[in-house]
Chains A and B, each alone.
Chain A
Amino acid sequence: MPILEIKNAELSIDNKKILKGLSLNVNEGETHAIMGPNGSGKSTLSYMLAGRDGYELDNGNITFDNIDLTPLSPDERSNLGLFLAFQYPVELPGVSSTNFLREIFNSRKKYLGENELSHLDFIKHLRKVAENLSIKDEMLKRYVNFGFSGGEKKRFEILQMALLNPKISVLDETDSGLDVDALKIVSEGVNNLKDKKNAVIVITHYQRLLDYIKPDIVHIMSDGKIIKSGDADLALYVEKNGYSEILNEKS
């Protein structure tokens, strides 16, 4: 069953074409990796999917669970079950992490027509989920991402992912700025959430993350398009030989 279908997506920013006819299909249960050199349009792709202002399609279409995503706002897309783990999570000074998490958790529950959790029940639930990601109570008392280390920020992203239980998660360079230990914790967190009903798209520069999060399909992105797709071995090939060979192959 397809969850996400992107057809011929074209998008420009400040009159400069960034996505130039990108197509991608993601089915339930799959993990996709998107790799590519700097400036190939990977982050633009993630913002486009999440519906950020200014990242509207010029051409093409995206459907999510057979629903046309293009007219939907970021919160509506989130409610449908689309999650973006940010490359650079944003600081919210004065907003307590616990309150923020409860707010987003209950707003998702409300959307799903499920019971919202009381403050106490939520705290219990949160503690359990946070423990799996080695997130201490102390961190949850701080303001959202405020003064978090790089590793803390990324773990906090995965914590939100775990609480929202999305159908598709886009991890935008989640490995950047992580040491090996943090990388392991984050990857385990992602793997624990993976099931037959959801899907993950991992956007990354490097193969090393893919040692921990095993992709079913690897795509190479360049100049606003996917130029090559293959299995996990493709990532290993890139790791060994760099992008240039594949890029040359294409041109």
Chain B
Amino acid sequence: MVATTETINQVKTTTDKYKYGFSTNIEVDKAPKGLNEDIIRFISQKKEEPKWMLDWRLEAFKKWKRMEKPNWAKVSFPDIDFQDIYYYAAPKAKKKLNSLDEVDPELLKTYEKLGIPLNEQKMLAGVAVDAVFDSVSVATTFREKLSEVGVIFCPISEAIKNHPDLVKKYIGSVVPVTDNYYTALNSAVFTDGSFVYIPKGVKCPMELSTYFRINEKNTGQFERTLIVVEDEGYVSYLEGCTAPQRDENQLHAAVVELVAMNNSQIKYSTVQNWYPGDEQGKGGIYNFVTKRGKCLGENSKISWTQVETGSSITWKYPSCILMGDNSIGEFYSVAITNNAQQADTGTKMIHIGKNTKSTIISKGISAGKSQNTYRGQVQIQKGAYNARNFTQCDSLLIGDTCSAHTVPYINQHVSNAKVEHEATTSKISEDQLFYCMQRGLDTEQATSMIVNGFCKEVMKELPMEFAVEAQKLIGISLEGSVG
């Protein structure tokens, strides 16, 4: 489905527009390149992990070796050589950190530059941050304040040591090790990520946020996030991601698991801005991520909101398993691709409990020579009486060399369930552009305004502080796409 307009012709470079493309010069601890049992033992040892964790990893590695790479997604890229990647890179710590004041100033500067000040006094009020740099968490803010109400927010490597029962109980319970090729790989080699635990009846008093940064060359980032919210609990969590501008591709294969108990709610928002590669498609991050939430309790609710502007390839389907009766799953997504970017993203809503409801709003925007695919599955299993789903997929094309695809799968095994699917494809019309420009807005302002309007339903789901940032990001990602 390609629309043409004469006015939209040339796609300019956007590489100079990626303002997070710098790298930090810092001494690192690295494991040797490649992947084998020794590397896994090395990682586990570095993290001072208990034996059960190491065994879990080794088991995952064994299974991974027998698995095949998935090839069903509408993306193409050269074969990844898994022996040519570093699986562990960490800034060399001079000694054990006791407080933020002891974090390497070079690192603090890096995050400052990224707009994420880790100094608590300077922080946005009401947001606690866990900063993950390559393979380790370098700082987590507001931990004491959170622990006063019983909220645990810490690097997962610490949780494995300090809260082993919780981690043991839930890790792999939503995304099984062998769910897919990359989850098995992640389970074997994951290095850090965030752990959140909200006890019964607690509404987390501030937004929690993790900021992922890939810095080292040839290094894969394999993070693992686990969020568990007990009965009547609530948390809003946001993740942001950036990486330096490099000519080679880098792999980011994360696993995120969410567990929501009775009457609890998890709101998970992502602003993904990994380096997308240059206008020819050279370099950039391969973002192969498995995110899934389980509404285990009755009346529980999980909402995924994502704004995906970066990565050379995105392969990501944040999903909800709606087990508890009356549970609710939501997926709000904006995926923007420009130049040679490829995105295959969407969601899965698995209805198991009675009266479960899900809503999917997906907005795909393609420019340049990019490919943007929505792939979604709605499954109404036996017993999911009265389940409801509403899906709306809208695609917006900018220019005539990009493409958008919508691939919905619907499996319905209950007669009184209701599944609705709407899809539209449109393009930014010349009329709209001309109208805005006649009022004095330049092409980029006009495009950004129209696109932001197109994404409105999703943007309004983002927490305030990040919605503004995301709006700007959309403008930046599309700079030069309308000539």
Contacts and interface: CB of A to CB of B under 8 A. Distances in A.
A160 B439 contact: yes
A52 B449 contact: no
Given A53-B7, A53-B430, A54-B6, A92 B449 contact: yes
A74 B437 contact: yes
B445 A107 contact: yes
Contact of B441 (A53, A54, A94, A103): A103
A100 B449 contact: yes
Contacts of A50: 434, 438
B289 interface: no
A94 B455 contact: yes
A121 to B, nearest CB: 19
A243 interface: no
Interface in A6-23: none
B101 interface: no
Interface in B440-479: 440-443, 445-446, 449-450, 452-457
Chain B at the A interface: SS class: helix
A79 interface: yes
Interface string A51-70: 01110000000000000000
Interface in A80-107: 83-84, 86, 89-95, 100, 103-104, 107
Contact of B449 (A54, A75, A95): A95
A69 to B, nearest CB: 13
A74 B430 CA distance: 12
Contact of B437 (A54, A78, A111): A78
Given A92-B432, A94-B453, A94-B454, A53 B439 contact: no
Given A94-B453, A94-B455, A73 B437 contact: yes
A84 B439 CA distance: 8
Nearest to B440: A78
B435 A90 contact: yes
B449 A103 contact: yes
B454 to A, nearest CB: 6
A154 to B, nearest CB: 14
Interface string B366-401: 000000000000000000000000000000000000
B304 to A, nearest CB: 21
Interface size class of B (residues with CB under 8 A): 20 to 34
B148 interface: no
B431 interface: yes
A53 B434 contact: yes
Contacts of A111: 440
Contact of A104 (B7, B430, B431, B439): B439
A164 B434 contact: no
B453 A95 contact: yes
A90 B431 CA distance: 7
Contact of A78 (B430, B439, B452): B439
A196 to B, nearest CB: 24
A107 B441 contact: yes
Contact of B439 (A52, A91, A164): A164
Contacts of A90: 429, 431-432, 434-435
B394 to A, nearest CB: 10
Contacts of A103: 441, 445, 449
Interface in B420-434: 429-432, 434
Contacts of A108: 440
A92 B439 contact: no
Contacts of B449: 92, 95, 100, 103
Contacts of A83: 438
A75 B435 contact: no
Q: Which of B430, B440, B457 has the most CB of A within 10 A?
A: B440
17 contacts: A50-B438, A53-B7, A53-B430, A73-B442, A73-B443, A75-B438, A75-B441, A77-B438, A78-B437, A78-B439, A84-B438, A92-B449, A92-B450, A92-B453, A94-B455, A95-B456, A107-B441
Given A78-B437, A103-B441, A107-B439, 4 more contacts: A86-B435, A92-B432, A95-B453, A108-B440
